[in-house]
Amino acid sequence: MRIRIVDAFTDRPFSGNPAGVLLLEGGAFPAAERLQEIAAEVNLSETAFAHPLPPGGAADWALRWFTPVAEVDMCGHATLATAHVLHTTGLATGPVRFTARCGILSATAHPDGSLTLDFPTSPLSEEPVPYGLADALGADPVSVHDTGEHIGDLLVELRDEATVRALAPDFAALAAHSRRGVIATAAAEDPTGGYDYVSRGFFPGVGIDEDPVTGSAHTALAPFWSARLGRDDLTGLQASARSGLVRTALRGERTLLTGAAVTVIDGELLTTF
- Compute how many other C-beta atoms are within 10 angstroms of the C-beta atom of residue 172: 10
* Options 25, 37, 41, 46, the catalytic residue: 46
Alpha carbon distance 143, 145 (integer Å): 7
Tabulate helix, strand, coil % of the chain (nearest 5).
20, 40, 40
Burial of 167 (0-12, 13-18, 19+ CB in 10 A): middle
Q: Are 219 and 199 in contact (CB under 8 A)?
A: no
Sign of torsion over alpha carbons 68, 69, 71, 75:
negative
**Beta carbons within 8 Å of 108's beta carbon, 6+ residues apart:** 94, 95, 96, 115, 116, 118
Sign of torsion over alpha carbons 157, 158, 164, 170:
negative
Decide if 210 is catalytic.
no
Alpha carbon distance 53, 127 (integer Å): 41
DSSP assignment of 155-214: EEE-S-HHHHHT----HHHHGGGSSSEEEEEEE-SSTTSS-SEEEEEEEGGGTEEEES--
**Beta carbons within 8 Å of 54's beta carbon, 6+ residues apart:** 27
Q: Are 62 and 27 in contact (CB under 8 A)?
A: no
**Beta carbons within 8 Å of 89's beta carbon, 6+ residues apart:** none
List the catalytic residues. Answer: 46
